[in-house]
Amino acid sequence: MLTALLIEDNLDLANTVIDYLSLEDIQCDHASNGVSGLELVSTNHYDVVLLDLNLPRLDGLTLCEKLRQAGIDTPVLMLTARDQLKDKIAGFDAGTDDYLVKPFELQELVIRVQALSRRRSGQVKLLKCADLSLNLAEKTAVRSGQSLKLSPTAWQLLETLLRASPNVVSRQQLEQAVWGEDGTDGNSLKVHLFNLRKVVDTPFELPLIHTVSGHGFALRDDNDETSA
C-alpha cells in the first residue's frame, strides 16, 4: 500500500482527499499546518507528500525548501490555487516535483501520486550515506567532517551512486550518467572508480563503495542492517 502525507489546512478538502485516496489503497496521514507537516515528514517514511502552498505557521514553499536542505528526497506534489507561471517556477525552485492547481479532479490526483511514488525526488539538495554527505547546492563533499576533493567526473559518479543508495547501479548506468548515451570504454570507468575510492574510502576505516559482482556498484554502509 502506498503512503502519503497531506499537508492542508482546509479540513473539508483534506477529508475528501483522504477518503478518496483510501478507496485507491493509498494510506494518507494529515497535518493541518506547516510545522506539524514538517515534523511528520521528517520522522516518518512516505511515498509522496501532498503540500498546500498557503499554510499556517509555515508556508508550503519554505517547508519544501527545508525538506530538500535536510536531504529528504520524498517526492512533493504541490496543491495550490495559484496558477500563474511565476508561482509554478517558485514551487519548482523550492524543490517540488509536480504541481496541481485547485480545484482538481481526484482521479488525476491519484494518477499523479502513483507516478511520483515510483521514484525519488531529483530536487533534493543534500545526499547522505553513513558519514558521507554531498551538498549539491554548495558543491561540497564531506566524510567524517573532512572535505573531499573530487574531479568533475568523480563528483558525477558519486552523485549517481548516492542518489541510488543503497541500491546497485550498473556499469552502463554509471557510464551514461557521466559520458551520456555514447558511453565510454570500460577501462575509463574503472580508472575513475579507482580514483573515487581513493578519495571516499581509502582514508577511512569502513568502505562505502562496493562492487556487486555481475551487477555493478553500490554505495552503502554494510554495517547498517537496512542496507544489506
Q: Convert the pLDDT of each residue in 7-59 to its tens digit.
A: 999 999 999 999 999 999 999 999 999 999 999 999 998 999 999 999 999 99
pLDDT tens profile 177-200:
888 866 666 688 899 999 999 999
What pLDDT, on a 0 to 100 scale, did the predictor assign at position 226? Answer: 38
Name the residue with cell 502525507. 5
CA dist., res. 15 & res. 28, Å (int): 10
**What is the H or E stretch that residue 135 is in?**
strand 132-135
**Kind and range of the H or E run holding 200:** helix 186-200
User: Which domains can be identified in the chain, with CATH numbers?
Assistant: 2-117 (3.40.50.2300), 126-227 (1.10.10.10)
**Is pTM beyond 0.75 here?**
no
Q: Is residue 71 over pLDDT 60?
A: yes
Q: 93-102, 106-115, 116-125, 161-170: which range is least confident on average?
A: 116-125
Alpha-carbon distance of 27 to 155, in angstroms, equals: 37
Burial of 72 (0-12, 13-18, 19+ CB in 10 A): buried
